Amino acid sequence: MLRIGVFVCHCGTNIAGTVDVKAVAETLGKEPAVVFSTDYPYMCSEAGQNIIKDAIKEYQLEGVVVCSCSPRMHEATFRKAVAAAGLNPYMLEVANIREQCSWIHKDMAEGTAKAIVLGRTAVAKVQLNAPLTAGESPVVKRALVIGGGIAGIQTALDIAEAGYPVDIVEKEPTIGGKMTQIDKTFPTLDCSSCILTPKMVECAQNENITIYSYSEVEAVTGFVGNFSVKIRRKARFVDEDKCTGCGACTEKCPVKNAPDAYNLGLSNRHAAYIPFAQAIPNVAVLDKERCIKLTKGKCGLCSTVCSAGAIDYEQQDSFVEEKYGAIVAATGYNPINIDGYDEFAYSQSKDVVTSLEFERILKADGPTEGHLARLSDGKQPKTIVFVQCVGSRESGSAHGCGKEYCSKICCMYTAKHAMLCREKYPDTDVYVFYIDVRTPGKNYDEFYRRAVEQYGVHYIKGMVGKVAPQADGTLDVQASDLISNEQLHVKADMVVLAAAIEPDKSARPLATMLTASMDTNDFFTEAHAKLRPVESPTAGVFLSGVCQGPKDIPETVAQAGAAASKVIGLLAKDKLSCNPCVAHSNEMKCNGCSSCANVCPYGAITYEDKDFSRRKDGTMMRRVASVNEAVCQGCGACTVACPSGAMDLKGFATSQIMAEVDAICK
């Protein structure tokens, strides 16, 4: 039996407030094998660590149990302390009596009893711990950024600037993302394209950056420092190397009725197209749903006019397989589908638009060439009503598509829209219906005040109940004014809905591939809400932009830079210390059935035929599993899949788990 020491932490009152730490230390001190037991206000402090180190020497401890916060907090601290005193760092167990005990109990007696059980469990486990030594694995010095919006672009540029190669995978034919569709940016009202396109060009020109446009991540294997990623390059039916972006094919293409995604379907484009003038790469795409040649086998006009010979109707999806040390998710967002909001007459009237559609109307390369005009009759609207929080801050959504969270950007862009309308068209009456106006941020509130005070925008606190299209082409907006406590009717020419934003649909399958966790709204979860905001809990996966939570452009760029610096910090290392808590196979029990290899997400298990002869005259070859310890991440999937119990996890052996269960049930 190992000589065990138990150290109970008060964590100030965090633990001691609901757990009688003295009683815990005293009770655990009576456990068999426990030769020393004590408590201390802050075990993680220098003095606390010294108590552990001194006790190891004085009492010749062979195993240490610290009853404290979650091992995610201080396991590393205590391992180092134990190692400093000459013990193997893996001869330590942390009993979590804070997150899993004191914080969730109110009753002192109950909390104390549970803390004792948790401590006893750790004592039982540490008895079966074995000294482990960490190996090393090399780091592939290349990063992958998934998503080519402003978040992905900024992250890629920063990584590339530090000297590391980085690939951007963008599912659309061009990088740029949502920012390409936006007209002006708050709070300075500078042109979105003017600040974005230089960065797009920089991506194209930077030698360290490879852009895989019109591509999607197909599969991810591996682990931090050593990811293998399969990228599907969707067939664009145009040879990217030959196309000069001259646009001849797009002009000659006889198909003219394909909805233009760049204009959110508010106008049409050809089947052969370049999304917009500043597209990067500036390469045409054939819309395979609309192209006559691809659907019916006839036409072929674009091929005749292409002087570069770039059109290739036979092009197939191709695949790129590449190794990366780090992966950044920058998958961005979309406005929610607001078809469920019948009360706003969005599907009934062309003059009820979403804010992003309104951006397209205001922008020079949009469907109205930048003129503020109604989409129904092209007339300039005289009265515009903006409706805030359409689908945001909706608890128990009656519409089925509302979100509980605040989309964060709507208050500011609506102020911007209102201001731009009044600036360019002073004869326009602008109303904004809001629940709250939320404009914290540098120069943000001043911006909103300017809309109200300088530009005379009518801000009315209250929600719009109904928008009814009238026979004369106007829209009757029925709303409540909560401050004057009355019902209003506004005769509007145009209604703009600030639709909530949600993570892009590609995020969920990507998270599954990356084994990165997500919240219920499909935003990526960060490793720590406050202290590790740009890292996923999955090592080597980083988060950039709205895929982690709603944010505006400045915040996105800041986070993109932060994610890049984390990536650079990782890629700067030559080797990573491996987790020694990895799987191993007991060859005498292994049947060679491949169940473990089938479930292994890291491809760490291989098979070999080994001779298990028990007779001298013959051979007895058996197929047995062997684990590549550098590749294994210790997830334990194999140990539960193995039908014969041959697979076991170092540091979390089945015998240890059973000992813990026995200790709990004692």
Residue 645 contacts other proteins per CB under 8 A: yes
Cβ proximity to other proteins, 60 vs 644, nearer residue: 644
Single residue of 70, 334, 383, 594 touching other proteins by CB under 8 A: 594
Token pair 């059109």: residue? 311
Single residue of 481, 603, 623, 664 touching other proteins by CB under 8 A: 623
Burial of 313 from C-beta contacts in 10 A (0-12 / 13-18 / 19+)? middle
Residue 603 contacts other proteins per CB under 8 A: no
Token pair 């010749």: residue? 60
Question: Is the four-CA dihedral 591, 592, 597, 603 of positive or negative sign?
Answer: positive
Residue 658 contacts other proteins per CB under 8 A: yes
Single residue of 89, 176, 592, 634 touching other proteins by CB under 8 A: 592
CB of residue 595 to other proteins, shortest distance in Å: 5
Torsion of CA 399, 403, 409, 411, to 10 degrees: 50
Interaction with other proteins in 495-554: which residues (CB under 8 A)?
A: 509, 512
Question: 444 near 412, Cβ under 8 Å?
Answer: yes
CB of residue 591 to other proteins, shortest distance in Å: 6
CB of residue 601 to other proteins, shortest distance in Å: 8
Question: Is the four-CA dihedral 288, 289, 291, 292 of positive or negative sign?
Answer: positive
CB of residue 230 to other proteins, shortest distance in Å: 15
Contacts of 239 (CB under 8 A, 6+ apart): 309, 310, 311, 312, 315
CB of residue 623 to other proteins, shortest distance in Å: 5
Single residue of 599, 610, 628, 651 touching other proteins by CB under 8 A: 599
What are the start-end ranges of the H helices in 134-262?
150-161, 192-205, 248-252
Cβ proximity to other proteins, 473 vs 643, nearer residue: 643
CB of residue 128 to other proteins, shortest distance in Å: 12
CB of residue 599 to other proteins, shortest distance in Å: 5
CB of residue 607 to other proteins, shortest distance in Å: 8
End-to-end CA distance of the chain: 19
Single residue of 476, 589, 610, 630 touching other proteins by CB under 8 A: 589
Count, residues near other proteins per rule CB under 8 A: 25
CB of residue 661 to other proteins, shortest distance in Å: 10
Other C-beta atoms lying within 10 Å of the C-beta of residue 619: 9
Single residue of 282, 313, 641, 652 touching other proteins by CB under 8 A: 641
Taking CB under 8 A as the binding criterion, the range among 73-81, 220-228, 310-318, 586-594 that sits at the site for other proteins is 586-594
Residue 644 contacts other proteins per CB under 8 A: yes
Residue 621 contacts other proteins per CB under 8 A: yes
E-strand ranges in 197-311 read 209-212, 215-223, 226-233, 258-259, 268-269, 272-273, 285-286
Single residue of 591, 610, 626, 630 touching other proteins by CB under 8 A: 591
Residue 664 contacts other proteins per CB under 8 A: no
What's the CA gap between 267 and 257, in Å, rounded?
9
Torsion of CA 304, 308, 314, 315, to 10 degrees: -150
For residue 260, give the nearest of 243, 279, 242 by alpha carbon. 279
Taking CB under 8 A as the binding criterion, the range among 119-127, 243-251, 470-478, 619-627 that sits at the site for other proteins is 619-627
Question: 37 near 82, Cβ under 8 Å?
Answer: no
Cβ proximity to other proteins, 47 vs 621, nearer residue: 621
What's the CA gap between 587 and 584, in Å, rounded?
9
User: By the criterion CB under 8 A, which residues form the site for other proteins?
Assistant: 509, 512, 588-595, 598-599, 607, 618, 620-623, 641, 643-646, 655, 658
